[in-house]
Amino acid sequence: MTDVTASPIAGSSPEDRPMITISHLSKSFGETQVLKDINLTVHKSEVVCLIGPSGSGKSTLLRCLNFLESYEAGEVRMEGRLVGYTEGFPRRKMKNRELRALRREVGMVFQHFNLWPHMTAMENVREALVQVKGLPLEEATAKAEAMLTRVGLADRMHAHPSRLSGGQQQRVAIARVVAMEPHVILFDEPTSALDPELVGEVLQVMKDLAADGMTMVVVTHEMGFAANVADRVAFLDGGHIVEDGPPRQVFHESSEPRVRQFLQTYHERNSF
Amino acid sequence: MNWDVVTRNLPYLLEGTVMTIAVSLAGILVGQVLGAFICVGRISGGRVGETLGAVYVSFFRGVPLLIQLLLIYYMLPLVGIDVPPLVAAVGALGLASSAYVSEIYRGSLLAIPHGHGEAALALGFSEGSIWRRILLPQAFRLSVPALVNELILLLKASSLISVVGVAELTRVSQSVASSTYRPLEAYMAAGAIYLIINGALALLGVLVERRLARS
Ligand SMILES: Nc1ncnc2c1ncn2[C@@H]1O[C@H](COP(=O)(O)OP(=O)(O)OP(=O)(O)O)[C@@H](O)[C@H]1O
Ligand SMILES: [Mg+2]
């Protein structure tokens, strides 16, 4: 069902070059192989949701995209650039400096927010602008404030994370990433640690980002979000992508028994 | 009891007190900087860093401070380095406390969730700025109570540097004792002063901790 070939740079102009190309990606932790020959392409401004049972390799796949996890076989390319390794064979780890340059363009939002507790919301957003982008403090502050305003936290800017609700913390984390003006944002279950009543505010921020044309890869259990916002849904099971297509196709027309089984369990759990 | 002895010699005792505080503060300062490096080296210096750090820590924790002090004072001149007593004193206190401080930092670092550094990595931070901006400031905050405790221990241990002739509180009280033939009064005064300083330190520690907890 994958519509992908291994061609690293499809098309010649940067405009139609895919944002992310994953080809024949495999990854093991010691003896256990957790990703098996993954192929997936994400185009500019596309929102792709990754769904699948626990332990299927969703987080690992996402973490390979910014090389928080290394991979042994296959390729991940961001806008044509090989992630984590130098071109050529035998391949060698990319220089740290290059990896950092690449990571600046790939944002990541985590399940547990990972805000820095010794800084206020504003300082959390400002920090990377100063440390990584090298913006002058004033400019970085103004930008951080604008970002927090954009996610609806203008009045909570000077609060420390411990004084914010989970939903507010996750919005700060998103602002922190968006402020860096990444080309892609990776989300790993951004609402899974939230109380149900706080999920909506975070999903709304994500919807706004998608509407602004942000390229997003989202691991989620929010099937509503996947159905309404995603351009494509990929279903992972046991380290394989077993289904990949538009939400309607994956949710309603899949003949893959594992997908049907998963969705059925999901529906049963979510109906009274 | 003849408290007159104490009041008459109070200026000397206070001078000694100032020296004790200064040497201890200098010692803990050296200890903190060295301790931070040792701790970072142990955690991110690969197997070599880990081994060297572990050897360092067990040496300075395992050998009594008095012996370390005498070693520095008598051994370095043998290799042609002349150490003034004060330098030997601050050096010995600094080296000894660095071993403890590095362990304090290490404990605090292990308490920081892995995700904090990971979020910074994902944003493109360098290893150095992650340490400088994310990990060490947090480790320091978590360490405050243990560091205050270490400073109190160090302040008490600093009485040992009297043996190399630094005129700190213990040394001064010894000379007051011998020149006035009133050892009990002299040592009671010294003891009281140590008690007051350490009480103040403990109080300060509580205040700082509260302050950090609020932010
Ligand atoms: N650092 C690691 N070391 C060893 N094994 C790991 C590591 N990280 C993940 N795994 C294993 O890899 C497999 C895939 O894990 P992963 O976290 O990618 O799954 P997931 O789909 O994100 O699951 P969940 O929905 O529970 O988050 C699991 O079997 C897990 O135990
Ligand atoms: Mg996961």
Burial call B20-56: b when 16+ CB within 10 Å, e when fewer: bbebbbbbbebbbebbbebbbbbbeeeeeeeeebeeb
Q: For residue B89, give the nearest of B159, B17, B175, B12 by alpha carbon.
A: B159
Q: Using an 8 Å CB-CB cutoff, list chain B residues near A96.
A: 126-127
My answer on whether omega of the bond before A90 falls inside 30° of 0, hence cis, is yes
What is the gyration radius of the CA atoms in chain A, in angstroms? 19
Nearest to B125 among A106, A117, A128 (CB): A128
Q: How far apart are CA B214 and CA A68, in angstroms?
A: 33
Q: Decide if B124 and A115 are in contact by the 8 Å CB cutoff.
A: no
A55 Cα to the center of ligand 1, angstroms: 5
The ipTM assigned to this model is: 0.90
A80 Cα to the center of ligand 2, angstroms: 26
Q: Which residues of chain A have pLDDT under 50?
A: 1-11
Total number of domains in chain B: 1
Domain range spanning residue B172?
Answer: 4-214
Pairing of strands A215-219, A47-51: parallel
Quick check: B19 and B166 in contact, CB under 8 A? yes
pLDDT tens for the 215 residues of chain B, in order? 788 888 898 999 999 999 999 999 999 999 999 999 999 889 888 899 899 999 999 999 899 999 998 888 888 888 888 888 898 899 999 999 999 999 999 999 999 999 999 999 999 999 999 999 999 899 888 888 899 999 999 999 999 999 888 899 999 999 999 999 999 999 999 999 999 999 999 998 888 888 877 66
CATH number at residue B137: 1.10.3720.10
